[in-house]
Structure 1
Amino acid sequence: MSNEAYCASLLREHDRNRWLANLFAPAEHRRGLNALYAFNSEIERIRDMVSEPLPGEVRLQWWRDLLEGQARGHVSGHPVASELLAAVDRYHLPVSALATLIDAHTHDLYDDLLQSIGDLEGYCGEAYSSLFRLASLILADGGDPGSADLAGHAGVAYGIASLMKQAARHAARGQIFVPADLVLKHGMAREDLLNGRNTEEMRAMFAELAGVARHHLDTAEQLLPAAPVTVAPAYIGLGLVDPLLRRMARPGFDRFRHEADLPQWRSQWHLWRFSRKLR
């Protein structure tokens, strides 16, 4: 399997929604996008691959060293690393933005609570908005596409929705992404989230969190028409945010008992529908 095919396969297995969204991008830039998102998938999955933070820190440092040209071992033997470096070279991707993404996911290795909504927005900005920004650079063939504000709001909306749908998986490993101030505001305790108690207070808390995501989604959609048409495919994934939020807001929905993600056929339909709005 070629490095290019490996990245596409990894993405299809571990981040199918982004893989599907990439199908709407121009063919000549799909390889770069797959490399970027495969790298992100490698970083996101580190928490699931280690039993304690230190080995995770070591893995993250390897990626930092790679970007700085100091990685040990044969990088050519790592398909994702090889493809990422090729994309960085072709599209002049800023290494600082990739390093920021790595640093953001250091938080994932620990069980510390984010303290406020602002902290959560900051985390999503570094972990998700940076991806929208980097994807835009790829689609602009390395040029400056502008639209930094768009990437910022898009990342926070997509990030919060993604974290909400993974609440059960995070709780199972002792991790919570709901900010501490929101937990306290609704009279909840950390143990309530870890034990998955689907109380009225829990539903109200997640409804408020969804409201934050929707605010950023609405702002991003207002900014989208002003973005260059060449970078529009970078934002097709936004088409899944509203359906996800609606699914999780249904009466009787229990995020700790029910599947939060959309079926693949529905994801494909929503992505296609959103792509029509971007033309």
Structure 2
Amino acid sequence: MHGLFERLIDAREQDLDGEAPADMPALLRYAEGSSAALTWLALESLDGETGRRPAAVEAGRRLGAAWALTGLLRAVPYHASRRQLHLPADLLSRHGVRSEDVLELRRPAGLPAVVREVAVEAASQLRAAREVAKGLPRQLLPALLPGTLAGLYLKRLERAGFDPYAAAVQDAPPGRIWRLTLSNLLGRF
């Protein structure tokens, strides 16, 4: 468990340098070090056997990555206002988006394409988490419930044309507590 706290600290140290990840694998490493480590800690607190359950470890890794990517996409305006950028540099370049334009809150035309690619990866991670979690003990479900919200936020982002500045993306969706409750009752995320 001590190693998970170190991973969290190491990942959060990257926040201090303010540099965008070079590519999607770098962004996923950050997501795993930050959010997946928290998910693993939550799983471990619910069941001390998590480390011996490969499916739980993998579900936590995938769910943590999906949740982190989703949160980073929703936080693009906030991070940009703080002169931070968590979008992969190679995607920005491929879609003709200059980092400085995002940091200056200019909303460049290629930004939705970048956000879409990261959202597709987040959705893929979420699907994989749901698949690998089948058959896990129900007592682990509370640690995986952020997947319910990740799915909801990703759908809202898609409906908004992958514009992270859209009000529908920034506003908290009504009924999210009820969705979590229903997911918990149904035993899914």
Q: Is it true that 1:101 corresponds to 2:5 in the alignment?
A: no
Change beyond 3 A, Cα 1:260–1:214: same
Q: Is the 8 A contact 1:113 1:179 kept in 2?
A: yes
Aligned residue pairs total 185
For 1:275 and 1:163, locate their aligned partners in 2 and report how far apart those are by CA, in whole Å: 25
Match of 2:152 among 214, 221, 243: 243
> After superposition, where does 1:29-108 map in structure 2 within 5 Å?
94-108=1-15
C-alpha distance in 2 between matches for 1:157 and 1:144? 19
Paired letter, 1:97: L
| 1:146-173 Cα shifts (integer Å, max 9, x gaps) | 2111111111100000111111110001
Contact 2:160–2:169 (Cα < 8 Å) also in 1 = no
Q: Give the conservation status (yes or no) of the 8 Å contact 1:244–1:262.
A: no
The structure having more radius of gyration, on CA atoms, is 1
1:198 aligns with 2:107: yes
1:136 and 1:231 in contact (8 A); partners too: yes
CA RMSD of aligned residues (A): 1.9
State whether structure 2 residue 157 is matched by structure 1 residue 278: no
2:49 corresponds in structure 1 to 143
User: Residue 122 and residue 233 in structure 1: after superposition, are their counterparts in 2 closer, same or farther (change >3 A)?
Assistant: same
Q: How far, CA to CA, are the matches of 2:93 and 2:178 in structure 1? A: 38
Deviations 1:208-246 (A, max 9, x none): 110000000010111121222221111011100111011
Aligned-pair CA distance for 1:250: 2.1
Q: Distance in 2 between matches of 1:214 and 1:177?
A: 17
TM-score by length of 2: 0.89
2:26 maps to which of 103, 119, 137: 119
Measured at CA, do residues 183 and 228 of structure 1 come closer, stay the same or move farther in structure 2, by a change above 3 Å? same
Q: CA deviation at 1:257?
A: 5.5
Match of 1:171 in 2: 80
How far does residue 265 in structure 1 lie from its aligned partner after superposition? 3.8
Choose which of 218, 224, 238 in structure 1 pairs with 2:133. 224
Structure 2 unaligned regions, length at least 5: none
Shift in Å, 1:199: 4.1
Q: Find the aligned partners of 1:253 and 1:104 in 2 and give their Cα distance.
A: 26
Q: CA deviation at 1:261?
A: 4.2
- Match of 1:105, SS state, is helix
Distance 1:264 1:188, change over 3 A: closer
In the TM superposition, what whole-angstrom CA distance separates every residue of 1:149-204 from its partner, at most 9, and x where no partner exists? 11111111000001111111100010000011111111111012112333441111
Hey, what's the Cα distance between the residues in 1 that align with 2:140 and 2:43? 5
Post-superposition offset of 1:139: 0.6
Deviation (angstroms), 1:253: 6.8
Check 1:264–1:257 CA distance in 2 against 1; reply closer, same or farther (3 A cut).
closer
Name structure 1 gaps, 5 residues minimum: 1-93
**Separation of aligned partners in 1, 2:20 and 2:75:** 16
Give the secondary-structure state (helix, strand or coil) at the position aligned to 1:260.
helix
Contact conserved, 2:97 with 2:108, CA < 8 A, in 1? no
Q: Which amino acid aligns with 1:161?
A: T
Structure 1 residues 250, 241: closer, same or farther in 2, change over 3 A?
Answer: same
Gap change, CA 1:235 and 1:251, over 3 Å in 2: closer
- Does the CA contact (< 8 Å) of 2:160 and 2:166 recur in 1? no
> What is the match of residue 172 of structure 2?
263
In 1, Cα distance between the equivalents of 2:75 and 2:123? 17
- TM-score of the pair, normalised by structure 1: 0.62
Q: Report the Cα distance in structure 2 between the residues aligned to 1:214 and 1:165, rounded to whole angstroms.
A: 14
Q: Give the fraction of aligned pairs with identical amino acids, expressed as a percent.
A: 26
Is residue 66–residue 122 contact of structure 2 (8 Å, CA) maintained in 1?
yes
User: The residue matched to 1:115 in structure 2 has which SS?
Assistant: coil
